[in-house]
Chain A
Amino acid sequence: EPEVTQTPSHQVTQMGQEVILRCVPISNHLYFYWYRQILGQKVEFLVSFYNNEISEKSEIFDDQFSVERPDGSNFTLKIRSTKLEDSAMYFCASSEGAGAYNEQFFGPGTRLTVL
């Protein structure tokens, strides 16, 4: 069964460093998403991406964040200068289409720890 994959599973970084989190969405999906979950809290939307453009972003997704689809398979989230409060689980998701009637499938997550 096709699934969303993410690498690495755990990333430890120093405050101020850049990190890139990688995701491989399901191959025939066209819409891609990043969500964040701070430990013990709810899952929060960061950004959605379609046709090589950001289609929507939340207030959390500030100038420190960027997304890219560098090739036909990978979808990346970059944090330019990490802060302590960026420590969280980051989930990638993908869907065939946009909107409520297209289920999003979640990857296993990358746990980011900023020291």
Chain B
Amino acid sequence: ELKVEQNPLFLSMQEGKNYTIYCNYSTTSDRLYWYRQDPGKSLESLFVLLSNGAVKQEGRLMASLDTKARLSTLHITAAVHDLSATYFCAVARGNTPLVFGKGTRLSVIA
């Protein structure tokens, strides 16, 4: 059974600081997704990671994938308040449904 673990589940960080969110998964995967969710809103796709060593960046967010370690990271650089949201990773494998992590609730404070 595919399991996805995220940590931390809650993260309070100061503006301007850097931090990393981790996503571990239990079996091989074909794709890994990172989503952002604002309170009461839908899932906004941030990154799709396909292969080992993949790195993608958008603004202050950078995602990477290590398939050997079954680990993806979402790195936040110089956080700003607008990044406050819940971030989910989700793993896709074969024809099985997407499996989501529990999410990391990020709060960026001044």
Contact = CB atoms under 8 A, between A and B. Distances in A.
Interface of A: 33, 35, 41-45, 48, 56, 58, 89, 91, 98-101, 103-109, 111
Given A98-B95, A99-B95, A100-B93, A44 B40 contact: no
Contacts of A101: 30-31, 92
Interface in B18-51: 29-31, 33, 40-43, 45, 48
Interface residues of B, number: 24
B30 A100 contact: yes
B75 interface: no
Interface stretch (B54-62, B77-85, B100-108): B100-108
A103 B48 contact: yes
Contacts of A107: 42
Secondary structure type dominating chain B contacts: loop
Given A43-B88, A91-B42, A33 B97 contact: yes
A111 B40 CA distance: 8
A99 B88 CA distance: 19
Contact of A104 (B30, B96, B98): B98
B90 A48 contact: no
Contacts of A42: 88, 100-103
